Amino acid sequence: MTRSRSAGAEAEAAGVEPPLLLSGVDRTYERGGETVHALQDVNLAVDAGEFVAVVGPSGSGKSTMLNTLGLLDTPTAGDVLLDGREVSDADDARRTRLRKEYIGFVFQDFYLIPTLTATENVLLPTVYDADAKARPRAEDLLGRVGLGDRLTHRPTELSGGQKQRVAIARSLINEPEVLLADEPTGNLDTDTGRQVLGEFERVCDGDVAVVAVTHDELVTEYADRTVELVDGHLEVR
């Protein structure tokens, strides 16, 4: 393992499994008779409450890595472990269930439903659950990200930073152990980006593990640890 300086290794030695672990992960794509190595022997452990930034230029494998961590993509080789449980070979139904239980996602483009209010957007991952506590939890989460006075606003009535904070609240509605963010500040100016990154810091205080992949160096100021992807290889900074 090339996990140097990883708190995950310490946690593992202490008998506590990290919420997220990639071990020897390869992902290749076949394209027009050519093999693209999107990820090569990637090892990463992320602890509860740890904010890890993954930086790298376009095409370095960031989205592939995040999708692998989020069980949206399957490695060609290697293992993905959630809470110490091997999940690389899980079938679709199990992956869907694990995603819902353990993982929240935040994307560059927010992916809010334009016809729904902020609260309704946050509630979306719970619509099939008939959980009476979901609505107060959604309102509480929106309050925590500073949008307590925007509960009934629709996305067009919100700024970019506010939309991303709604997306963060939505990602937390099922109380995940892990929050995965793909270029979360990609559509935001620097000041707004800082506000959003401050929210990730607070999410970590609540013991959620956060992984943000980005080419925005600003993220590294907020992360506990930064690793770099170079042509599919993960390097410690």
Ligand X SMILES: Nc1ncnc2c1ncn2[C@@H]1O[C@H](COP(=O)(O)OP(=O)(O)O)[C@@H](O)[C@H]1O
Residues that bind Mg ion (CB under 5 A): 62-63
Q: In what order do the strands lie in the sheet with 77-82?
A: 34-46, 20-31, 77-82, 85-86
- Beta-strand runs (E) in the chain: 20-31, 34-46, 51-55, 77-82, 85-86, 103-107, 178-182, 209-214, 225-230, 233-236
Q: Is 5 exposed, middle or buried (0-12, 13-18, 19+ CB in 10 A)?
A: exposed
29 binds, among Mg ion, ligand X, none (CB under 5 to 8 A by kind): ligand X
Q: Cβ 157 to Mg ion, closest distance in Å?
A: 29
132 CB neighbour count, 10 Å cutoff: 7
Among 40, 64, 164, 226, binds ligand X (CB under 6 A): 64
Spatial distance between the Cα atoms of 201 and 44, rounded to a whole number of angstroms = 20
> Helix, strand or coil for residue 166?
helix
59 binds, among Mg ion, ligand X, none (CB under 5 to 8 A by kind): ligand X
* Closer CB to ligand X, 28 or 88, in the complex: 28
Q: Does 126 bind ligand X (CB under 6 A)?
A: no
Among 2, 10, 59, 148, binds ligand X (CB under 6 A): 59
Q: Does 29 bind ligand X (CB under 6 A)?
A: yes
Stretch that binds ligand X, among 14-22, 56-64, 135-143, 188-196 (CB under 6 A): 56-64
Among 56, 78, 125, 155, binds ligand X (CB under 6 A): 56
Among 5, 31, 93, 205, binds ligand X (CB under 6 A): 31
Spatial distance between the Cα atoms of 232 and 38, rounded to a whole number of angstroms = 5
**Residues of this chain that bind ligand X (CB under 6 A):** 29, 31, 36, 38, 56, 58-64
